[in-house]
Amino acid sequence: MLKNNMRERAINLLWLLIEQGGRVLSSLLITLLVVNHLGAEDFGVLSLSLAILTALGAIVGLGMDPILFKLFISKKKDGKELIETSCFLRLVVSVIVIISITLLNILSDELYIDILNVLVIGFLFDSFLSLKDYFGAHLKNKFYTYSTLVSLLTQLVLTYTFVENEVGVIYFSFTYLLAKIIQATSLYICYFNLKHKTILPRLNKKLATSLLRSSFPMMLAASIGLLYSLQDQFFIKYFLGEYELGLYAVGIKMILVLIVLPTLISNVFYPSLVSKFHQENSDAYIKQLESIYTVFFILGFVAFISMFFASEFIITTLFSDEFLSSVDVMKIYSLLLILTFFQSINNKILILHNLETIIFKRALLALSINAVLNYLLIPRYGINGAAYSTVISELFVLISYALIRETRFIFIYQVKAVLLVSLFKSDFIRNLKT
Residue 325: which H helix or E strand, with range?
none
Show the low-confidence residues of the chain (pLDDT under 50).
1-2
pLDDT digits (tens, 9 = 90+) for 126-144: 888 888 877 777 767 788 8
**What's the pLDDT at 18?**
82
**What's the pLDDT at 281?**
63
**What's the pLDDT at 76?**
57
**What's the pLDDT at 110?**
86
pTM: 0.74
**CA–CA separation, 130 vs 105, rounded Å?**
29
**What's the pLDDT at 121?**
93
Spatial CB neighbours of 13, under 8 Å, sequence gap ≥ 6:
265, 268
**What's the pLDDT at 9?**
65
> What is the DSSP code string of 153-208?
HHHHHHHHHHHHTT--GGGGHHHHHHHHHHHHHHHHHHHHHHH---------HHHH
Vertex 407: Cα angle to 265 and 345 (nearest 5): 5
| HSE of 402, CA atoms in CB hemisphere, 13 A | 9
**CA–CA separation, 17 vs 149, rounded Å?**
12
Task: Sort residue 319 into left (φ over 0), alpha (ψ -120 to 50) or beta.
Answer: beta
pLDDT digits (tens, 9 = 90+) for 5-56: 566 667 767 777 788 788 878 888 898 899 889 888 888 889 889 888 887 8
Task: Sort residue 242 into left (φ over 0), alpha (ψ -120 to 50) or beta.
Answer: alpha
**What's the pLDDT at 2?**
47
Cα 425 to the center of its chain, rounded Å: 33
**What's the pLDDT at 431?**
67
DSSP character for 404?
A: S
Are 314 and 254 within 8 A, CB to CB? yes
Residue 402: which H helix or E strand, with range?
none
**CA–CA separation, 203 vs 189, rounded Å?**
22
**CA–CA separation, 236 vs 221, rounded Å?**
23
**What's the pLDDT at 1?**
47
Nearest to 148 by CA among 158, 137, 156, 160: 156
**What's the pLDDT at 25?**
84
Count of C-beta atoms within a 10 Å radius of residue 10: 11
**What's the pLDDT at 379?**
93
